[in-house]
Amino acid sequence: MKILLIGGSGTIGKAIVNELSARHEIIIAGRTSGDVKVDITDKESIKKMYQTVGNIDAVIISSGKVHFGRLEEMTDDLYQTGLQNKLMGQVNVVLEGIKYLNNKGSFTLTSGILNREPIELGSSAAMVNGALDGFVKHAAIELPKELRINIISPTVITEALGSYAPFFRGFKPVLAADAAMAYSKSVEGLQTGQIFIVG
């Protein structure tokens, strides 16, 4: 398969490349590095990315930003970081990508654990993750061309504990390689509308 991976330079993205590159052609897209540049907050950038890449068999998104902050200090602008980047960025990648995915192709998005198990400072992440999970369940029943869509919802990643450990006390981390297996299941399997929980 010809797979477009948005966020291939991140911790999970690199593990996805390691998991899938032996079997498939991987095209990496990112803001500052990769085979093609994309800013998922910019619809025109998304269109240009697809025009550059052409028809593909699968799209994986393993990137997305949210703002972590105390609830009483959150503002509309701070929430917009997650809404415009992680939420609408992924949604717009799907909406534009419908035109470029081959029949029976697939989208694999990324949410996370925080809408199921909230932590301090995580209201934006919880809100965005919940919205993404809901979007995928619905999109699965309307996508044309027998396209599939799933979402991966991992807990904290072991390799990221250097930055995030204080926020995830008591959470059992998972290796990035284990998370990458869920992306493989989504891309190479037959399921659709699923939330693959990792950890």
d(CA 194, CA 137): 7
Domains observed in the chain: 2-198 (3.40.50.720)
* Closest to 150 measured CA to CA, from 104, 96, 190: 190
* Closest to 176 measured CA to CA, from 198, 194, 150: 198
Radius of gyration of the chain (CA): 16
pLDDT tens series, the chain, 199 aa: 999 999 999 999 999 999 999 999 999 999 999 999 999 999 999 999 999 999 999 999 999 999 999 999 999 999 999 999 999 999 999 999 999 999 999 999 999 999 999 999 999 999 999 999 999 999 999 999 999 999 999 999 999 999 889 999 999 999 999 999 999 999 999 999 999 999 9
Q: 47 phi and psi, to 5 degrees?
A: -60, -45
User: pLDDT tens, 108-131?
Assistant: 999 999 999 999 999 999 999 999
Which amino acid, 120?
A: E
Whole-prediction pTM value? Answer: 0.96
Which tokens is 62 given? 């393993």
